[in-house]
Amino acid sequence: MRYDNVFYLANSDLVSVLTDNFETLDDVLTRIKLDKKVGCKNIYSAKINGKERLIFTITNGKLVLLGEMDNHKYDRLHVMGKGNNALLREMCRDDAPIVKVNVERDEDGNLAPLILESALAQTQGPVLRCIQGNLLTLNNEQNKILERSGQSHKLIIGGPGSGKTITICQILMDKVRDGATDLLYISKEDRLVDEVRAGFIGNPSVRCLTWHDFVGLNKGTPKVSYPEFHTWIQEKISGKGNLSTSIQETLGFWKKAVGIKKPNSIDRERFSANLYEEMRILTGYSPGEYKALGSREKLFWHDDKKTHLVITGRLLTIFNLYNEELKACGHVDLSLYIPTEESLSSALGESQGLVFDEIHDIPRGPLGRLFETVNGRNRALEHDFCEITACFDNQQSMIDTVTSLPYIQQHLGVSFQ
């Protein structure tokens, strides 16, 4: 009996539960036709016996086991939280880097955090570990599970208030106790940096920096962000020339895509916000790579290849001309700035570990450069291994979860390719 398309997302006991109670996968699928959905869209249950049910979902042709529990106690299953359906669909894509799931109980019998091993698990180098779940329940034994993964980058996924920051602070404390002398905590949010810094006062082993300080955007640098971009778009849209034409055609495409039919019913603020988000996405790719992106990897997309290439060319024009004007004025857009590898190497120093909180706040281009720099340094073996532990909020934005998360997983997971 083969279960090649089964993802075990709760604990190893589900393997025996499945094989003991169902002869084939078709048997599972047949039974769910008789059982109703349980309290959450796309989550199903199949009776195991008179008292228990197997809880699962089916996505992209894969059966995903979520747990087993007594009848009518589904609220105990944390995977039913908001936003997890989209995340499950992404994890189960045929081309997703995550291909294997293996979860065990710890020595005390408590459910361990979900650990997903990437396709690189067969190689000699570090692999990406992805932990998702109710992080507030992590105890010392479960934190040790993270440490036993050895030299590997880690991605912690959870919603607001799930304890991501608490968890990574515990990881920092454990590393300090183990003798680490140079650790970095980075976040775009000043508030988070101040809170974590307060927890390590008097400990020179932990440097707490905002992302802008880390990449060298000091207070003397003229900075702009979305408000200035919105104003720039509104100024340029009514003019003539390649830039104005590109903005006008992009606006027309966008109106059709979002269903705006009346000529005067244009939400310019919403258009600018969507366009700015696409500019953030563009930072992560060369022109050729951007043109080849799929529908789940960008916002502006069309099924017709010719139309898609036209609008892609217009977006590249807007991106390039906006950056040229910024450079001419000596300004830096906080969301589009990509630091050099040299500046990042200098900022890293001899760091033995980098913790990145709220990583979804940073666009793909800057993140890609950071991952390249860290992984390049690790490959060179000139310093101690620098492990990245990143926290991703999977309920902050569906745009981030569906488009940015696979990018982060891919680039974190190529440590030693």
Examine residue 90 and state whether it is found in any structural domain, yes or no. Answer: no
Whether residue 343 sits in one domain with residue 208: yes
Whether residue 213 sits in one domain with residue 105: yes
The pTM of the full predicted model, rounded to 2 decimals, is 0.65
Cα distance between residue 229 and residue 235, in whole Å: 10
Q: Is residue 55 very low, low, confident or very high in pLDDT (cuts 50, 70, 90)?
A: low
Cα distance between residue 411 and residue 416, in whole Å: 11
Amino acid at 278: E
Q: Contact 358/188 with Cβ under 8 angstroms?
A: yes
What is the CB neighbour count within 10 angstroms for residue 397?
Answer: 15
Examine residue 377 and state whether it is found in any structural domain, yes or no. Answer: yes
pLDDT confidence of residue 346: 92
Question: Could you tell me the sign of the dihedral formed by the alpha carbons of 15, 148, 198, 214, in that order?
Answer: negative
Which domain-ending residue is among 333, 358, 387? 333
Examine residue 93 and state whether it is found in any structural domain, yes or no. Answer: no
Cα distance between residue 408 and residue 281, in whole Å: 12
Examine residue 22 and state whether it is found in any structural domain, yes or no. Answer: yes
Tokens linked to 212: 């802008």
Whether residue 147 sits in one domain with residue 112: yes
pLDDT (mean) for 174-200:
89
Whether residue 316 sits in one domain with residue 241: yes
pLDDT (mean) for 212-232:
87
DSSP 112-149: PPEEEEEGGGGSSS---EEEES-GGG--HHHHHHHHHT
Report the DSSP beta bridge partners of residue 355. Answer: 185, 389
Q: Provide the CATH number for the domain around residue 59.
A: 3.30.2310
- Which comes out higher in pLDDT, residue 264 or 191? 191
Distance of CA 336 to the CA centre of its chain: 18
How many separate domains does the chain show?
Answer: 3
Range of the domain at 74: 6-80
DSSP tag of 359: G
pLDDT confidence of residue 63: 56
Cα distance between residue 416 and residue 169, in whole Å: 26
Examine residue 307 and state whether it is found in any structural domain, yes or no. Answer: yes
Examine residue 417 and state whether it is found in any structural domain, yes or no. Answer: no
pLDDT confidence of residue 287: 93
pLDDT reading at 315 higher than 60: yes
Cα distance between residue 326 and residue 245, in whole Å: 20
Whether residue 49 sits in one domain with residue 31: yes
Examine residue 117 and state whether it is found in any structural domain, yes or no. Answer: yes
Q: Is residue 246 very low, low, confident or very high in pLDDT (cuts 50, 70, 90)?
A: very high
pLDDT reading at 115 higher than 60: no
Whether residue 346 sits in one domain with residue 212: yes
Mean pLDDT is lowest, of 156-170, 289-303, 380-394, for 156-170
Average pLDDT, the chain: 71
- Which comes out higher in pLDDT, residue 175 or 151? 175
Examine residue 272 and state whether it is found in any structural domain, yes or no. Answer: yes
pLDDT (mean) for 187-197:
90
Which domain-ending residue is among 333, 364, 391? 333
- Which comes out higher in pLDDT, residue 134 or 395? 395
pLDDT confidence of residue 401: 59
Which domain-ending residue is among 333, 357, 390? 333
Whether residue 345 sits in one domain with residue 205: yes
Question: Residue 43 contacts by C-beta under 8 Å, 6 or more apart in sequence?
Answer: 37, 55, 56, 57, 66, 74, 80, 85
Q: Provide the CATH number for the domain around residue 207.
A: 3.40.50
pLDDT confidence of residue 187: 94
Whether residue 103 sits in one domain with residue 212: yes
pLDDT confidence of residue 193: 92
If we measure between CA atoms, which residue out of 160, 220, 171 comes closest to residue 196? 171
Whether residue 317 sits in one domain with residue 347: no
Q: Contact 37/30 with Cβ under 8 angstroms?
A: no
Would you tell me the crossing angle of helices 268-282 and 364-380 to the nearest 10 degrees?
20
φ and ψ at 340, to 5 degrees?
Answer: -80, 160
Tokens linked to 226: 């979305």
Whether residue 253 sits in one domain with residue 200: no
Whether residue 239 sits in one domain with residue 138: no
Whether residue 314 sits in one domain with residue 269: yes
Across 335-355, b (16+ Cβ under 10 Å) vs e yields bbbbbeeeebeebbeebbbbb
Q: Contact 233/314 with Cβ under 8 angstroms?
A: no
pLDDT confidence of residue 66: 62
pLDDT reading at 140 higher than 90: no
